[in-house]
Amino acid sequence: VLSTFSGGSVLVYSDLNTAVTPKDGQHKKKVVVLGSGWSGYSFLSYLNNPNYDVQVVSPRNFFLFTPLLPSVTNGTVEARSIVEPIRGLMRKKGFGFTEAECVNIDATNKKIHCRSKDSKSLKGTSEFDMDYDILVIAVGAKPNTFNTPGVEEHAFFLKEAEDALKIRQSVIDCFERASLPDLTEEERKKILHFVVVGGGPTGVEFSAELHDFLVEDVAKIYPKVQEFTRITLLEAGDHILNMFDKRITAFAEEKFQRDGIDLKTKSMVVGVTADEISTKERGTGKVVSEPYGMVVWSTGIGLRPFIRDFMQQIGQEKRRVLATDEWLRVEGCDGVYALGDTATINQRKVMEDIDAIFTKADKEKTGTLNKKEFNGVVKDICQRYPQVELYLKKKKLRNIANLLKSANGDDTEINIEKFKQALAEVDTQMKNLPATAQVASQQGKYLAKCFNRMEKCEKRPEGPLRFRGEGRHRFQPFRYRHFGSFAPLGGEQTAAELPGDWVSIGHSSQWLWYSVYASKLVSWRTRTLVISDWARRFIFGRDSSS
Ligand code: FAD
Ligand code: MG
Ligand code: MG
Ligand code: MG
Ligand code: MG
């Protein structure tokens, strides 16, 4: 444990350095990156170390700007506008790219097995192996159906660009079908009943986009059937958008009510057939089935099967998600990193390491910490355990010294009991990072910066802890910075929650949303395309052909 704690400053060198570059003449270390999404693309954009031979494997040769995906479902934005081809970046950086899917990781032999589409081969696919020295797993996650029967077969997902296009096609098909002659009113109502499952940001945004489309465009294009349309949003929990501030949840629920979106909370979907969706009401246990025309499933994410196999190999079979340490190194497997939605950082508890922290800080071995000893360790604690900072913020304290003062009074020396007492509650503030693009891209950038400095850190091994400037040659653990989140609610209104408890809802935040997302788009090409799509929509309305 002692070494784990000191890992904040010392252990890291030796471990990360197993991945260090060879001298001239030797072959370059081969870094294989799986995935070209938020975390992978960000990693590749910031990676600048000529000593690595970088090979990217991903089933799609583009980066997808997922936050605007819901806008593709109703034609506000074109799918082409939010994808960035990856070949450009590969050429600029001198990286290799193979369009294929990794299907197996062989951690013992440092090899991956891949499959690619190949229309010429008999099976329609071709398979190959690739070895690596360092593997970076950035493959994201897949939609989670919780094994609900019928979902795979009958529901639509909203994860990839194709998904959004399929949804768009299907919505328009529903309207064309409902406009056929000789249908009863019941039949038209069924076809035009759109069900969205999952009240998280994606489900809510999709419902809002669909509602806008129905009100602003469909009313003009299909005036005869418009009265038969209905949107139902199903959520298993008590509220939608439960990760947001309560004010936002309340606003969204009221707005949906006003808009006529049928919001059903406490409703768990238990099955989907070709014609009906069944839900169980929490509490009463009553099961109801309703006819529908289209179901969109958006209830969260799950592991990709080959990641599950990999976890078995490396002794993580008991975990729900792939675990890494704070340096994004996969636990139990050398030379493999994982970031983004694929993995979770397994944060350490202060209270588990507290004896080690104390012993390490107590340089003079007096059994108590004096001011100097104490100051020597606080920075490491704050860096290594992000929950400390959150706890101080919650208690409105400036630093740990203040926290200790409250436990220790005016004593200048602090003993282990008091030390424990002061820090006893900090672990209550531990939180897993959310599965968002914001986290994924920051992790990609962080890891690239570690890789860029790998040699420098090797040259300056374990120096004195507080040597000046030494911090630059050390790998700090990953730290997430939250810049806020948005929940577009339709009708040109967006809810925004920014750091410092700042909540804003309405048209002004919609403009903030437009500008933030325009600025986050990864290239001027996509930025131009998206902005012109928005302008086109304002002027001409949405395109309804399919
Ligand atoms: P991804 O971005 O999903 O990338 C995974 C990559 O791996 C892809 O390139 C994929 O093709 C590739 N891959 C898959 N399988 C394999 C394989 N077997 N071998 C090799 N490569 C593989 N987050 C926000 O912060 N803000 C938002 O507004 C927001 N809106 C969203 C809207 C929608 C509709 C969705 C679906 C997500 C949204 N998110 C948002 C979440 C965000 O998109 C994810 O958190 C983010 O994409 C995670 O990044 P990642 O790199 O882990 O995975
Ligand atoms: Mg990725
Ligand atoms: Mg992506
Ligand atoms: Mg993650
Ligand atoms: Mg001492």
Q: Is residue 179 located within the same domain as residue 204?
A: yes
pLDDT of residue 460: 54
Q: Is residue 259 located within the same domain as residue 180?
A: yes
Could you tell me which of 426, 357, 337 has the C-alpha nearest to residue 136? 337
Burial of 224 (C-beta count, 10 Å sphere; 0-12/13-18/19+): exposed
pLDDT of residue 469: 41
Residue 63 one-letter amino acid? F
Q: Please state, in angstroms and as integers, the Cα–Cα distance from residue 11 to each residue in 2, 250, 378, 441, following that order.
A: 10, 47, 18, 26
Residue 380 one-letter amino acid? D
Could you tell me which of 252, 161, 151, 153 has the C-alpha nearest to residue 200? 252
What's 268's domain CATH number?
3.50.50.100
Q: Is residue 116 located within the same domain as residue 47?
A: yes
The answer to the question of residue 71 being in a domain is no
Q: Is residue 132 located within the same domain as residue 7?
A: yes
Q: Is residue 309 located within the same domain as residue 392?
A: no
Q: Is residue 179 located within the same domain as residue 199?
A: yes
Q: For ligand 5, an ion, list residues with CB under 5 A.
A: 362, 364, 366, 373
User: Which of 139, 301, 447 is the pocket-test mutation for ligand 1 (most atoms within 8 Å of CB)?
Assistant: 139
Domain boundary (429, 463, 492) is at 429
User: pTM of the entire structure?
Assistant: 0.88
Alpha carbon 70 to chain centroid distance? 16
Residue 147 one-letter amino acid? N
Q: Could you say which ligand is closest to the alpha carbon of residue 64?
A: 3
The 10s digit of each residue's pLDDT in 172-208 is 999 999 999 999 999 999 999 999 999 999 999 999 9
CB atoms within 10 A of CB 518: 15
Residues within 6 Å of ligand 1 by CB: 34-40, 57-60, 66-67, 69-70, 101-102, 138-140, 158-159, 202, 304, 306, 340-342, 435-438, 440
pLDDT band at 26; cut points 50, 70, 90? low
Residue 130 one-letter amino acid? M
What's 385's domain CATH number?
1.10.238
The 10s digit of each residue's pLDDT in 2-19 is 333 333 333 333 344 444
Distance CA 15, CA 337 (A): 12
Q: Is residue 215 located within the same domain as residue 268?
A: yes
Q: Which helix (H) or strand (E) holds 143?
A: strand 142-143
What's 48's domain CATH number?
3.50.50.60
The answer to the question of residue 68 being in a domain is no
pLDDT band at 403; cut points 50, 70, 90? confident
User: Which of 99, 157, 244, 436 is the pocket-test mutation for ligand 1 (most atoms within 8 Å of CB)?
Assistant: 436
Q: Is residue 28 located within the same domain as residue 118?
A: yes
pLDDT of residue 11: 34
The alpha carbon of 64 and the centre of ligand 3 are apart by a number of angstroms equal to 5
Written as six digits, the tokens of 215 are 């009100």
If one counts the domains in the chain, the total is 3
Strand partners, 380: none
Q: Is residue 11 located within the same domain as residue 55?
A: yes
Q: Is residue 105 located within the same domain as residue 55?
A: yes
Range of the domain at 105: 1-59+100-141+303-347+434-481
The alpha carbon of 192 and the centre of ligand 4 are apart by a number of angstroms equal to 37
CB atoms within 10 A of CB 432: 11
Kindly provide the ipTM of the predicted complex, given to two decimals: 0.96
* CB neighbour list of residue 65: distance below 8 Å, 6 or more residues apart: 82, 83, 84, 520, 521, 522, 526
The answer to the question of residue 223 being in a domain is yes
Q: Is residue 200 located within the same domain as residue 284?
A: yes
Report the chain's mean pLDDT, rounded to a whole number: 87
Domain boundary (429, 452, 468) is at 429
The 10s digit of each residue's pLDDT in 58-117 is 999 999 999 999 999 988 899 999 999 999 999 999 999 999 999 999 999 999 999 998
Q: Is residue 278 located within the same domain as residue 324?
A: no
What burial letters (b/e) apply to 105-124, b meaning 16+ CB within 10 Å? bebeebebbbbeeeeeeeee
pLDDT of residue 456: 74
The alpha carbon of 66 and the centre of ligand 1 are apart by a number of angstroms equal to 7
* Most confidently modeled range among 130-139, 371-380, 408-417: 130-139
pLDDT of residue 21: 46
The answer to the question of residue 534 being in a domain is yes
The answer to the question of residue 78 being in a domain is no
